[in-house]
Amino acid sequence: MGIGNDMLSRSNVTTRRTILAATLAPAILRAAPAPPIRIAFLGGAHPHGLGKAQVLLKNASFQLTGIYEPDPAVLARFTRLGIVSRTKEAILGDSTIQAIAVESHVRDHQTLTIDALRAGKHTHVDKPPSHDMAGIRTMVELARAKKLILQQGYMWRYHPGMNAVINAVKDGVIGDVFLVRGIINTYIEAADRQELARFAGGEMFELGAHLVDATVRLMGAPSKVDSILRKDGDFPDELKDNTLAVLHYKKAMAIIQTAALQRGASAYRMFEVQGSKGTITLQPIEPGVLRVNLGGNVTTTKYEAYKRYIDDFINLAEVIEGRANLPVPLETELLVEETLLRASSMI
């Protein structure tokens, strides 16, 4: 009898606890969300800048607090969205701003990113992040020393098709890799070419960076890099607008081609890996059609829902809040930058 009463008493306690937990659960679930992360732009002239601002304005995890942009014409594109113009000093000195997006001309990426990190801000910088190894090393050292997030703006790091290629290859789906090849062309009008002409690598340095990034993430750093950097367009500048790089590996090579001379180029952009068991091809890259050919057995996956930049900033918010990690560690960022500079004949 005593044992029975004791069990009944324990049962009542358990029941009360269950009822109490059920009563409190909705309140816990309805807890106020974390306040939005205050972010600002340093620069807006990068081709990706306006698109990223539009994505951030729709992301409830962020509050876009302003932009520093010295060019009135560029600035007007952002103020039309309701984004406030601020000085660089005001942004860097605002202790409530947690993060910076560097979307300036490429020539200013290095300086502005270092400024942001020195000011104690988590930083997203568009590609390429630096025009020399000293710059990227300084960024990495600052991020490590200050325990800050440094996210590179390689937009295809979050492309489900590109990541499917990398994951399938690493899982051995196509066997031993012997060839990687990628094409990423565009057409640049005469008025916009001079900005890139200042860099010896030209189109390889600016646009080829995306495929260098994917290749290094897949294959690691190459043992040797050979480049052909030509200027074949009939324009009054020195932009290297028809370029190719060969990355050498122990039993494989990667061929990356990028030019600024192809109209309607998006449909022809591709990334392919050939191996001893088959071939995996992403073409076009956006929105994305993935084909896996294993001895004639072909499967196709379409990524029609893919949109640029959205997952980049979802991930950035999660990392700032301590709920996730970046997909690429800082050690790999150094390898990507070194390989890009070698492919661009800039080191």
Element (H, E) at 166: helix 160-170
Question: Span 129-138, mean pLDDT?
Answer: 98
- pLDDT band for position 4 (50/70/90)? very low
pLDDT at 21 over 60: no
pLDDT at position 165 over 50:
yes
pTM for the whole structure:
0.89
Question: Residue 144: pLDDT band by 50, 70, 90 thresholds?
Answer: very high
- Mean pLDDT for 222-237 is 98
Does residue 236 have a pLDDT over 90?
A: yes
* Domains of the chain as residue ranges with CATH: 37-153 (3.40.50.720), 157-308 (3.30.360.10)
For residues 197 and 322, what is the distance between their CA atoms, to the nearest angstrom? 40
pLDDT tens column, 27-58: 445 556 789 999 999 999 999 999 999 999 99
Q: Does position 61 have pLDDT exceeding 70, yes or no?
A: yes
Rounded CA-CA distance 325/318 in Å is 8
Rounded CA-CA distance 223/254 in Å is 11
Contact 203, 196 (CB under 8 A): yes
Instruction: Tell me: pLDDT of 20 over 70.
Output: no
Q: Which amino acid is at 321?
A: E
pLDDT band at 143 (very low <50, low <70, confident <90, very high): very high
Query: Could you give phi then psi for residue 93, rounded to 5 degrees?
Result: -90, 0
Percentage of the chain lying above the pLDDT 90 cut: 90
Check: CB of residue 123 under 8 Å from CB of residue 61: no
The pLDDT score that the predictor gives to residue 32 is 64
- Please tell me the distance from the alpha carbon of residue 124 to that of residue 120, in angstroms, as a whole number: 13
pLDDT at 30: 52
What local confidence, expressed as pLDDT, does residue 31 receive?
Answer: 55
Confidence of residue 340 (pLDDT cuts 50, 70, 90): very high
Grouping H, G, I as helix, E, B as strand and the rest as coil, residue 158 is helix
Q: Which of 315, 317, 321, 313 is nearest to 48 (CA)?
A: 313
Residues 90-118 have a mean pLDDT of: 98
Rounded CA separation 200/198 (Å): 7
- Taking CA atoms, 255 is separated from 28, 181, 186, 204, in Å, by 54, 5, 17, 12
